[in-house]
Amino acid sequence: MSTPGTSSDTTPVLDEQALDELLGRVITDLGGALVVPLALIGDRLGLFTLLRDVGPATPAELAAAGGLAERYVREWLRAMAAAGYVAHVSGDDPAAARYRLTPEQAAAFTDPDSPAAVAGGFQSMAAALRVLDRLTDAFRTGAGIAWHEHHPDLFEGTERFFRPAYTAGLTSEWIPALDGLEERLRAGVRAADVGCGFGASTIIMARAYPASTWSGIDSHAPSIEAARERAAAAGLGNVIFELGAADGLSGAYDFIAFFDCLHDMPDPVGALRAARSALADGGTVMLVEPMSWDTVAEGLNPLGKVFAAASLYVCLPSGLSGPPQAGLGNQAGPARTCALAREAGFGRARVATATPFNLIYELTP
């Protein structure tokens, strides 16, 4: 006699509906895994922008506008239309079909300043996948993969992906949510942006609060070079960019910020402790971190899927790449993040505000 849920030979009885749903999710994920690099090709070749400007267009018309091979463009358009990244307008013949970009697609794929811009996500995640062989070995050894060891597209793509959100919310919502900070920045203080990367966040703040002086600090030399070029192009005289470690702050600062970087650090408590030591009386630290949750169940959602997977490729290996190998990952959650701040010596740590994608923390002595 078999027990419920098994056949007489002890083989588990499959729920066919559940199996179909699982396979459906796999097909969706396989499609996404293939479409993202193809979308990156479209971004590199300017295909999305061309289609916005010349569409509705056939594959031949789009290829001619970009000086590209029609047969490749034809297949690319079919893949993008199936993904919902471009709109199929008319025509059943693949060679004669017409495609265009909707206004929403144009905002997402062609406007670098739109809050909906996602091309940087294509670039950074395609770059992250290049460590797959090393990551497989890391599962066996526990070794880390440092930030600087990734493909250069990760650095540029990360800036492209994060900058629109910083532009949209940093000075209009995030900083005003911290007690008294905006008034102090307007009056003029000394401020630091730790882990500044290409300097997007630093430049936004330096432009918005010209009375304050800003130091962008990062341990990645190519990023600091890019940040200096961008600050010079912006004509900003109140910002400098310096090569340095997160625990190398010197002097006293009234405001210290960490944008989407603390969880990547092998010693996040050490970085926060250094910030606490460098903080002037009455100063404030702001942490901007990816959205995360305190329990596993809360994070079982589409955004949690993206962030937890990205953590495995980039954030966790970076956090294991040096002593003390904290390996925080990007899903630490508010409770643990605030606990780390208190461990580093902050008397107050709270989530000041949030977006669908980020948590903004305020830390004070």
Per residue in 228-262, pLDDT (tens digit) is: 999 999 999 999 999 999 988 888 999 999 999 99
Count the Cβ atoms, other than its own, within 10 Å of residue 50. Answer: 22
Q: Report how far apart the first and last C-alpha atoms of the chain are (Å, whole number).
A: 67
- Position 157 pLDDT exceeds 60: yes
When pLDDT is averaged across residues 110-137 and rounded to a whole number, the result is: 96
- Position 318 pLDDT exceeds 90: yes
When pLDDT is averaged across residues 284-302 and rounded to a whole number, the result is: 97
> Nearest CA to 95 among 68, 65, 71?
71
Could you give the percent of the chain with pLDDT greater than 90? 95
> Nearest CA to 348 among 290, 264, 283?
283
- Position 1 pLDDT exceeds 50: no
Three-class DSSP category at 296: coil
**Per-residue pLDDT, 9:** 65
| Dist. CA 131–CA 145, nearest whole Å | 9
Encoded tokens for 206: 């330096």
SS3 labels along 211-259: CCEEEEEECCHHHHHHHHHHHHHHCCCCEEEEECCCCCCCCCEEEEEEE
DSSP bridge partners of 359:
289, 354
DSSP bridge partners of 191:
214, 255
pTM above 0.85, yes or no: yes
Q: How are beta strands 358-364 and 279-290 bridged, if at all?
A: antiparallel
Contacts of 306 (CB under 8 A, 6+ apart): none
Task: Confirm if 289 and 351 have CB atoms less than 8 A apart.
Answer: no
Provide the pLDDT confidence category of residue 10 given band limits of 50, 70 and 90.
confident
Burial of 18 (0-12, 13-18, 19+ CB in 10 A): exposed
Q: How are beta strands 358-364 and 348-354 bridged, if at all?
A: antiparallel
**Per-residue pLDDT, 161:** 96
Contacts of 287 (CB under 8 A, 6+ apart): 257, 258, 262, 337, 341, 359, 360, 361, 363
- Position 3 pLDDT exceeds 80: no
Three-class DSSP category at 76: helix
**Per-residue pLDDT, 250:** 82
**Per-residue pLDDT, 11:** 83
Average model confidence (pLDDT) across the chain: 96
When pLDDT is averaged across residues 141-156 and rounded to a whole number, the result is: 97
